[in-house]
Amino acid sequence: MDTLQAFDRAGAITDGIVGPITDEQLSLPTPCSDWNVRDVLNHLVLGDLIVTAFFLGEPQPDRSADHVGAEPIKALAKSLAATRAELTSPGALERVVEGTFMGTATVADLAERRIADLVAHLWDLARATGRSTDYDAELVERVQAHYRARLDGKPREGMPIAAISPVPEDATPADRLAGFLGRTVIVS
């Protein structure tokens, strides 16, 4: 699968997990320490705003701002659509951008990081809202390979990603990814 296909498949998972979230669920805690469902949604919208700013060579958004407002689900759908629009513009994936957190990279490289962050946090949202974590094994394995390439052999101290956690034998691929990223995985 190519980058755009991976983005679209992550979007389809997003629709299934995020679409049904109710206003009452926005305050539920998530496996991301100190973040509730609304906070994770805000983080995901911020991720889209950050990569879109890189794509366009614009100033970075305020990382401390509320980017979801009164309609967090719609805000995420809108931000994902805007990111996809940028990814599908002619020559976008080959374009080279400069970023402080990753130096010189192609838009495709940034898109892969965006996909990885989205898929990782979809697990958090699924767990928080009681949805299945058994989704798109091929995409999840692609994301795990992405994180392995970035993290294997590197210290995780001071990073927002904790030490690898063990996962039960019957864990889904998304559960295994979550364990690799330091989440506590309990299969019910």
Write down the domain spans for the chain: 3-157
Which pTM does this prediction carry? Answer: 0.93
Beta strand pairing call for 103-106 and 96-99 = antiparallel
H helices of 72-159, where? 72-87, 107-129, 137-151
Residue 54 confidence class, pLDDT cut points 50, 70, 90: confident
Token digits of residue 67: 């980017």
pLDDT in tens, 109-128: 889 999 999 999 999 999 99
88-96 contact pairs (CB < 8 A, 24+): 88/4, 92/55, 93/3, 93/4, 95/55
pLDDT above 90 for 176: yes
Of the two residues 65 and 159, the one the predictor is more confident about is 65
pLDDT at position 154 is 81
The mean per-residue pLDDT over the stretch 58-79 comes to: 95
User: What is the pLDDT at residue 100?
Assistant: 58
With 80 as the cut, is the pLDDT of residue 160 above it?
no
Q: Is the pLDDT of residue 99 over 80?
A: no
Per-residue confidence band for 188, with pLDDT thresholds at 50, 70 and 90: low
pLDDT of residue 64: 94
The yes-or-no verdict on residue 101 having pLDDT over 70 is: no
Q: What is the CATH number of domain 3-157?
A: 1.20.120.450
Q: Pick 44 or 94 by higher pLDDT.
A: 44
What's the distance, Cα to Cα, between the start and end of the chain in Å? 31
